[in-house]
Amino acid sequence: MNGEEPDRRKVTLRELEVLQALIQTGTSISAARELGITQSAVSRRLAQLEMRLGYPLFGREGGRLVPLVEALTISEQLAPIFAALERITVPRSAEQSYQGHLRIAAPPTIAHRFLPGRIADFCKRHPQVAVNFEVLASDSLITSIAECRNDVGLTDTIPAHDGIRCEPLLKTRTVCILPAEHRLAAQTVIRPEDLEGEAFIGIARRHSNRVAVDKVFERAGVSPQVRAEAATSVSIVELVRAGLGVSLVNPFPIVHQLGAGVVARAFEPEIANTTQFLLSSSQAPTAVTRAFIEAMKAEIETTAYQV
């Protein structure tokens, strides 16, 4: 850059604050008082700004600084920036209300058994938030987040997608669910060998939990009799209730919603589950998305899903 050309890259926020204060007050003394600096500092920063821009910003009339059209044009452009800075520096209230659009997606069990009431509570606290809530199979859910068609997802499936980043909500241990009258219901802990030859209902093979369950049985040398497979924990519970067999499932969010005729027992060895938020790795979450995630984290009770 030629040494005589104005260096606009070095315009500072403080110089722009001086410009705004001078336009609003009309004198360097008043501007200095408003900004909490000296009058000479105001004059110096105005001179620096004019030098950087390469043209004058104020004229003088009767001891007052009169903004030229160039100064007023810059001021109009700065107005929304300073308004945003003001909002940022105001301490956030615990009851701050958010606004905007929030697109949430979840697989059926979480969508039907966990999220509706919590979404409703969030919307009541933030009445200017509009929500679009989709129920999607896990594969479609992951794609919708990666492609930014939804803002946030909640699932216990482990995604293998470069366009996704995960944020944990809850860790749980897989439990065994069985008919209340089943002979194993008298035990407090179920182990793989207890299920040798038992009629078994498995989660669909595309689910990451199915892989973990199959590995536990394989290591124990156990072969349950797989009578059926189902895509959701809710469907599995109903098959167990009908007496078709027993199953191993993530206790979240259904363990306290099993209903009559079905019981849950601890299972060992541990099969860990992580229920997590899915976010796009290509863009940062919006303020309302982050607020929703933090609200869900604040409400979750980890111990409520232990058997």
Query: Tell me: the pLDDT tens digits for 207-260?
Result: 888 999 999 999 999 999 999 999 999 999 999 999 999 999 999 999 999 999
Lowest mean pLDDT among 31-45, 128-142, 293-307: 293-307
Pull the structure tokens for residue 217.
Answer: 């049985």
- Rounded Cα gap, residues 216 and 280, in angstroms: 32
- Counting Cα atoms < 13 Å in the Cβ hemisphere of 60 gives 4
Instruction: Supply the pLDDT for residue 303.
Output: 66
**pLDDT tens-digit profile of 173-218?**
999 999 999 999 999 999 999 999 999 999 998 888 899 999 999 9
Q: Which CATH architecture has domain 8-89?
A: Orthogonal Bundle (1.10)
Note the pTM of the prediction, 2 decimals: 0.69
221 secondary structure, DSSP code: T
Instruction: Supply the pLDDT for residue 4.
Output: 46
Instruction: Supply the pLDDT for residue 101.
Output: 94
Q: Do domains 8-89 and 175-270 have the same CATH topology?
A: no
Q: Which helix H or strand E contains 79, and what residues bound it?
A: helix 69-89
Sheet holding 99-106, edge to edge: 128-135, 99-106, 152-155, 272-280, 164-173
Q: How confident is the model at residue 89 (pLDDT cuts 50, 70, 90)?
A: low
Q: How confident is the model at residue 61 (pLDDT cuts 50, 70, 90)?
A: confident
Q: How confident is the model at residue 302 (pLDDT cuts 50, 70, 90)?
A: low
Count of all residues that appear for the chain in the document? 307
Lowest mean pLDDT among 15-19, 63-67, 243-247: 63-67
**pLDDT tens-digit profile of 281-291?**
888 888 899 99
Instruction: Supply the pLDDT for residue 305.
Output: 83
- Mean predicted lDDT score pLDDT of the chain: 89
| Residues contacting residue 280 through CB under 8 Å, at least 6 positions apart | 145, 146, 147, 148, 163, 164, 165
pLDDT of 2 above 60? no
125 secondary structure, DSSP code: H
Q: Which CATH architecture has domain 175-270?
A: 3-Layer(aba) Sandwich (3.40)
> Among all chains, which residue has been given the structure tokens 């987040």?
145
Sign of CA dihedral 239, 242, 243, 249: positive
Coil, helix or strand at residue 294: helix
Pull the structure tokens for residue 224.
Answer: 């349950």
Q: Which helix H or strand E contains 31, and what residues bound it?
A: helix 28-35
Provide the strand spans (E) within the chain: 58-61, 64-67, 99-106, 128-135, 152-155, 164-173, 175-179, 189-190, 199-203, 225-230, 247-249, 262-267, 272-280
Q: Which residue has the higher pLDDT, 221 or 9?
A: 221
- Counting Cα atoms < 13 Å in the Cβ hemisphere of 115 gives 24
Domain spans in the chain, listed from the N-terminal domain onward: 8-89, 99-170+274-305, 175-270
Coil, helix or strand at residue 200: strand
- Nearest Cα residue to 241 out of 264, 225, 261: 261
User: Once rounded to an integer, what is the mean pLDDT over residues 69-83?
Assistant: 86
User: Once rounded to an integer, what is the mean pLDDT over residues 100-104?
Assistant: 95
pLDDT of 94 above 70? no
Q: Which CATH architecture has domain 99-170+274-305?
A: 3-Layer(aba) Sandwich (3.40)
Residues 178 and 134: beta-carbon distance below 8 Å: no
Phi-psi region of 98 (alpha: psi -120 to 50; beta: other; left: phi over 0): beta
